[in-house]
Amino acid sequence: MTELTGEHFIGAKRRKSADKFYAANPALNEAIEPAISQATADDVECAAMAAADAAEAYERIGADRRAQFLDAISEHILGLGETLLQRAHEETGLPLARLEGERGRTVGQLKLMAAEARDGVWMSLRVDPALPDRKPAPRSDLRMRKKALGPVAIFGASNFPLAFSVAGGDAASALAAGCPIVVKAHPAHPGVSELIATAIIRAAEETGMPEGVFSLLQGNTHEAGQALVADPRIKAVGFTGSRQGGLALMKIAAARETPIPVYAEMSAINPVILLPGALKERAPDLGQAFVASLTLGAGQFCTNPGLVIALAGPELDAFAAAAEAAIDETAQQVMLTSSICESYKSGVEALTSQDGIAAHLPAPASARNCCAPALFRTTAARFAGNHALQKEVFGPASVIVACETHEEIAALLTKLEGQLTISIHCTEDDASRAAALLPLMEEKAGRIVANGWPTGVEVCHAMVHGGPFPATSDGRTTSVGTLSIERFVRPICYQDFPAQLLPPVLRDDMLPAAPHRHDGKWRF
């Protein structure tokens, strides 16, 4: 059993600050012991310095050793046992079964990124051999590899205390790439963050990683995180959270003397399109399945379906009726924090007060910090003319937009902001209409789903959890799946380097062991 101290980790060293705050149990609205240190500017600087000091050694240690480190982290997370799940339950209000599932996902993600580090295709190894006799000029020996960017600042997200937090996807991909990380823990689950940090520290010691490869900063104000992004030693940022938060970090990063990339996953309403054939075939089933997706995790998923688009008519009415019935049967759920719950309630109120919108609101949740789902209906004309209807309400609220024509559906999609996902429900009868909408779906989202729901982000090779701005800060990337490693590397070309100065992976004797491109041809 690990005793929590509420301290930061600067590398393996614990460090405390004078100012403190407490975690809160949202189900009870009570503070949880122990007091948590509030990171100061000096703490931030020490963590960034430790990461910078570790950067070269950690990169040179090689992908295989880093993979061992990631595997060891996953073992030590499992080793935390019930302590981790219990603390997570207290701090987030999420059910234990869900947290156990999320732990499995987190551990699987670390193992997948370990395997990806070993796979090595992400290094983009390339050799163009010298052509000394080429006319009119000889060619040099040119070799390329992609190399870690350096220390990465990572921000834990509130809604996935394990999978998108201290040892979540951003951490796993940055560590796999060879970047030391400094994690700013989310203040909604500082205890979970400290527990995970101990697992990472143990794994780092066990596998002989340089100290400073990982640091953890606690705090419940913006200052520490902002100072971290501004620190010249930090070379990239991973963030999952609100649009406001992501935009603020983008601004700080762009204003630095040396700007750095920010990978911020910010907000989305994840439109779902219901085409006539699908509605005709299975409107009630769709309504039920929609509510299951909408209310998953109290609607606190980045991919929560906040918008439904379909032609007006009796089939859509049947869908809505089934959805409303399902909503009425949904048990109230505790939300992650009292401020998230307050925001949800005021978001629902704001929608309810708009002109030309019909609200289906079951009895308000009675328990502390709990939410009840909310379903709204409006027309495409109202929706297009009122930006307030398009705002993400974080939680189980969604708007059904009834369109008069297929052209109106397309026009509505055209005007939408960038999204993480867009889903479409269709049958063979809808094929030509679906095909016509496809280019718009591709333009607006990172993942498009046919006959399914957006919640449930598979951790695999083909996943894209990203999307055009403002869904994320950088639509060329994903924060889930093996492609996420690409965010944390940059290419370097070595021209005519003597073998003993080349990085080992680029030496003639080492290259055959790694997938690479020789004079343009791929060798596996």
**Rounded CA separation 165/185 (Å):** 7
Task: Determine which helix (DSSP H) or strand (DSSP E) holds 360, and give its type and residue range.
Answer: strand 358-360
Task: Give Cβ neighbours of residue 134 (< 8 Å, ≥ 6 apart).
Answer: none
36 vs 125, beta carbon nearer a copy of itself: 125
Stretch that binds a copy of itself, among 13-21, 113-121, 263-271, 289-297 (CB under 8 A): 113-121
DSSP state of 139: B
Instruction: Judge whether 290 and 325 are in contact, CB under 8 Å.
Output: no
Stretch that binds a copy of itself, among 223-231, 292-300, 333-341, 441-449 (CB under 8 A): 441-449
Stretch that binds a copy of itself, among 69-77, 164-172, 179-187, 461-469 (CB under 8 A): 461-469
Residue 499 makes contact with a copy of itself by CB under 8 A: no
Provide the strand spans (E) within 99-208.
126-128, 142-148, 152-155, 181-184
Residues in 212-271 at the binding interface with a copy of itself, rule: CB under 8 A: 254, 258-259, 261
Among 29, 435, 504, 508, binds a copy of itself (CB under 8 A): 435
127 vs 320, beta carbon nearer a copy of itself: 127
Joined tokens for residue 381: 């004309």
Instruction: Judge whether 518 and 207 are in contact, CB under 8 Å.
Output: no
Residue 452 makes contact with a copy of itself by CB under 8 A: yes
Determine which one of 46, 179, 302, 341 is catalytic.
Answer: 302
Residues in the chain, overall count: 524
Instruction: Judge whether 399 and 307 are in contact, CB under 8 Å.
Output: yes
Distances (CA, A) of 508 to 139, 374, 514: 18, 62, 11
Q: Does the annotation mark 403 as catalytic?
A: no
Residue 313 makes contact with a copy of itself by CB under 8 A: no
Residue 447 makes contact with a copy of itself by CB under 8 A: yes
Q: Does the annotation mark 302 as catalytic?
A: yes
**Rounded CA separation 384/407 (Å):** 13
Residues in 64-103 at the binding interface with a copy of itself, rule: CB under 8 A: 101
Residues in 149-188 at the binding interface with a copy of itself, rule: CB under 8 A: 149-150
- Site size for a copy of itself (CB under 8 A): 76
13 vs 118, beta carbon nearer a copy of itself: 118
Among 56, 75, 324, 429, binds a copy of itself (CB under 8 A): 56
Stretch that binds a copy of itself, among 80-88, 212-220, 267-275, 437-445 (CB under 8 A): 437-445
Residue 418 makes contact with a copy of itself by CB under 8 A: yes
Q: In whole angstroms, how close is the CB of 250 to a copy of itself at the nearest point?
A: 8
Instruction: Judge whether 239 and 214 are in contact, CB under 8 Å.
Output: no
Instruction: Judge whether 363 and 337 are in contact, CB under 8 Å.
Output: no
**Rounded CA separation 144/55 (Å):** 20
**What are the residue numbers of the active site?**
265, 302
